[in-house]
Each structure stands twice: as structure tokens, then as C-alpha cells.
Chains A and B, each alone.
Chain A
Amino acid sequence: MREQLQAALGGIHAEPELKAAARAAVARRARRHGLAARPLRLALAAAACVAVILGGQWLYFTPTEHISIDINPSLELGINRFDRVVSVQGWNEDGAALAEEVSVENLPYTQAVQTILASDTVQTLLADDGVVEIGVIGEDDARCARMLAGVQACTDETNAHCYRADPHEVEQAHDCGLSYGKYQAYQELAALDPTVTPEEVQGMTMRQIRDRIAALSGTASPETAAPAASGGAWGSADCEAAQNQETEKGHHGEGHHGGD
């Protein structure tokens, strides 16, 4: 009986048309599945690309620290987490003109500071016994200290004042329409002469403000004794190396007078 059953059932085979119909159905289903899955895969890939691009843009273009440069032109550089300049803002007319004159976006901040200090406008002012104040503004102490050291290395042997500033005070300066360096000088001057206004200070050079503070307080301006900057004094070769040095200098309120 086993043999009989095996012989009878063994005579049954799938017809070629049945197999062909099954293959066609499988192919149709596979194609439909592929078509259905493709838009989803594409959408996911596109979303991932957009996330990476937006995330990368955010990482690159968001300034984490600022560098405020005041002579009379008042400039602020936005520095990203990769130590590159991502924004340049002039805080007065001269500052806006200087921002137009120099092209420092995407440069390392030390190179940007060198470029600005070596510009014709700044060199002319420094040659005329100008005073430059450069502030590093940010919340990360270690990073700001390192940046301050880098900036100081760019201003060696000059009548420059480098300092570290608190971001919250910077906001107050901006509310007055001043860069932080000029705002600090304005506060010093306002303490001696309450009639002075931010608008008035905005048009003064740092030298003029310092001289007026010195005159009102009856002391000699420290920068007056400093030698005038020469073109070769800016942007020393040590600048880049100094950027990597950790330094104890430059905590909030501390500063460095290049001409001291």
C-alpha cells in the first residue's frame, strides 16, 4: 500500500504554467515591495543628509566665542568651536568700513587678528599713537584663556590691551550700541564725566578716550608711554604657536598691556 500511495501521488507534478504563474506573482510582489520601500529609504537617506548638513552648519556657523577689537574702528569677530571666524560685525561706521576692507571670514582667529591689525586703516591709527583693545569674550575659561594667549601673541611689542570679558557684560555693551572694549572705556570715562554719552564715545578713538580718562583722573595714560606700533610689530610668527599654549593669564578682569 505504501508503494501504491507513493506511485499514485508521485505521479503528480507541478505543471510548468503553475510554476511560471508563481514566478510572475513573486516578481510582481518583489517589484511592488521594492517600489514601496524605495521612497521610504530615499526619504530616510535625505533626512539623514539634511540632519548632517544642518548639524554641520550649526556646528560650524555658531560662534562660541567673540573677539572684540577696538581702536576707533570697533569690530567683533564671531569665533566657532573650530577657532575659525564665522562673523564680522562693525560696531560703528569705521568698524563697518574696516569689516568691508578686510576679508577674515573662515580664517583662524589668530590669522584674522593679524590681518585686521595689519590693515592700512589700523596701521595708520597705530602709527598715530593709537591704542588697540582686544577682548576675548566667552564662557569657557580654558578656551578663552588659550584664545587670549593667542591674541596676545599677535600683539607683542605694541600698545595693545588684551583682556577676557564676560558674555553677559558684552550684552550690556551691545544694548548701548558699543563694542565691549569701547563700553568698558565708556564706563571708566562716565565715572569721571557723567555727561558723556555712548553716542559720543562711539565716534571717539580709543586713544582719545584713554587720553580723556587720563586728563580727568589726573594720571598719565599708560599707553601714552608706549611706543607707537610699527607695521612689522603686528602678527608675529609666534602667533600660531601661542594659540596652542594654555595660559593662566586672561581671567576675567585681567588684561595685558602690550606696551607696558
Chain B
Amino acid sequence: MRSEQEVNRAIEQYADTVRRICFVHLKNRADTEDIFQTVFVKYLLYSQPFASAEHERAWIIRVTLNACKDLLKSFFRSRMVPLEELSDRAASADREQREVLQAVLALPEPYRDVIYLHYYEGYTAPEIAGILGKNVNTVYTRLTRARGLLRQALGGEVDA
């Protein structure tokens, strides 16, 4: 088990990353809070050392994604949670940003992961394949399709 100090350092370092993944997948604050607690308690209990900061970051992302997927599998939650996330966010974002966020959230769920990991976190397709446990070609396919959908929604060019 890790020390509380170590976990607090991880919370400071990765809280925004976890929050963005939650934003991409979840629709309300209560779920986000659950995921936060799940991820960092898992970090507390995970006693294996990380080979590098990159390794640690990838571990946090993978655990967060899995936690979100587990939560979304819940029959009750998938039907009963209120759609408050975007409206909260939209209030504090400018029009262009709001449109981008809406376009991302409108993507099918598998595409949101690859778009976020590639365009925001800067991972390559093989790295994303490692994090998601998917075939690299699957990642390439999802990236291509997600770009097409974003282009349709936002217009203009989407960088490769």
C-alpha cells in the first residue's frame, strides 16, 4: 500500500486528467466523484512500482477509463443519471469551446477515447492500443472515423 502523501501527490498531478476522462464519458458530478475516489483508492492500494512517470500516467488513464466503463455498464445508472455535465461546463466555456465539447460528446463512446488520448494527451495509435488493450488497426480505424465525424460537426480540417 502506498503512503497517503504519495496519493496526495498523485491527486494533484493527475486530477485534471481524471476529470477530463470523466467529462468525456460521464454525465454528472456524482459519478465523477465516484470515479475520482475509485481511481485514487486503487492507486493507494496498488503497491507495484512504476517504471517511469509516463508509466504511472498511462496506469492512471487506463484505470480511469476502466472505472468509467464499469460505471456505465450499470443498468440503473445508464438510465437514471441526469444529463448535467455539459450544461455545467457550457456555462463556463466560450461558444467555440462549447461547440467543440459538444461535438466530442456527440461521438460514439469508443471514438471519444481515441480522440481524447490522441489529440489532448498526445499518445500515438500504438500507445493508445496499449492503454485500451485494442488492436492498433482498430485504433487507426476509430481515429479516422472520429475525425470524419468531427469534421462534419465542426467543419474545416482535423489534423492527423
Contact B44 A9 (CB under 8 A): no
Contact A22 B154 (CB under 8 A): no
Contact A18 B115 (CB under 8 A): no
Q: Does A35 contact B (CB under 8 A)?
A: no
Q: Is the interface of A mostly helix, strand, loop or mixed?
A: helix
Chain A residues, Cβ within 8 Å of B8? 23, 26
Chain B's nearest CB lies how many Å from the CB of A63?
48
Q: Which of A2, A11, A14 contacts B159 (CB 8 A)?
A: A2
Give A1-31 as 1s and 0s: 1 = Cβ < 8 Å from B's Cβ atoms: 1101111111111110011011101110110
Q: How far is the CA of A7 from the CA of B100 in the complex (A)?
A: 9
Chain B residues, Cβ within 8 Å of A33? 1, 45
Chain B residues, Cβ within 8 Å of A6? 119-120
One of B52-60, B90-98, B136-144 contacting the partner: B90-98
Q: How far is the CA of A12 from the CA of B19 in the complex (A)?
A: 7
Q: Does B67 contact A (CB under 8 A)?
A: no
Chain B residues, Cβ within 8 Å of A7? 96-97, 100
Contact B4 A30 (CB under 8 A): yes
**How many residues in A have their beta carbons less than 8 Å from beta carbons of B?**
25
Chain A residues, Cβ within 8 Å of B159? 1-2
Contact B40 A9 (CB under 8 A): no
Contact B100 A5 (CB under 8 A): yes
Q: How far is the CA of A11 from the CA of B88 in the complex (A)?
A: 13
Q: Is the interface of B mostly helix, strand, loop or mixed?
A: helix
Q: Does B36 contact A (CB under 8 A)?
A: yes
Q: How far is the CA of A30 from the CA of B41 in the complex (A)?
A: 9
Q: Which of A8, A11, A27 contacts B4 (CB 8 A)?
A: A27
Chain B residue at minimum C-beta to C-beta distance from A1: B158
Q: Which of A10, A18, A26 contacts B44 (CB 8 A)?
A: A26
Chain A residues, Cβ within 8 Å of B150? 1
**How many residues in B have their beta carbons less than 8 Å from beta carbons of A?**
41
Q: Does B123 contact A (CB under 8 A)?
A: no
A 98-125 contacts with B by CB, 8 A:
none
Contact B7 A18 (CB under 8 A): no
Q: Which of B23, B41, B115, B151 contacts A25 (CB 8 A)?
A: B41
Chain A residue at minimum C-beta to C-beta distance from B33: A21
Chain A residues, Cβ within 8 Å of B97? 4, 7-8, 11
Chain B residues, Cβ within 8 Å of A13? 15-16, 19
Chain B's nearest CB lies how many Å from the CB of A116?
61
Contact B19 A25 (CB under 8 A): no
Q: Does B70 contact A (CB under 8 A)?
A: no
Contact A5 B115 (CB under 8 A): yes
Point out residues on B near A: beta carbons under 8 Å.
Answer: 1, 4, 7-8, 11-12, 15-16, 18-20, 23, 32-33, 36-37, 39-41, 44-45, 89, 92-93, 96-98, 100-101, 104, 115-116, 119-120, 150-151, 154, 156-159
Interface CB pairs A-B, < 8 A, 6:
A5-B104, A5-B115, A6-B119, A11-B93, A18-B19, A25-B36
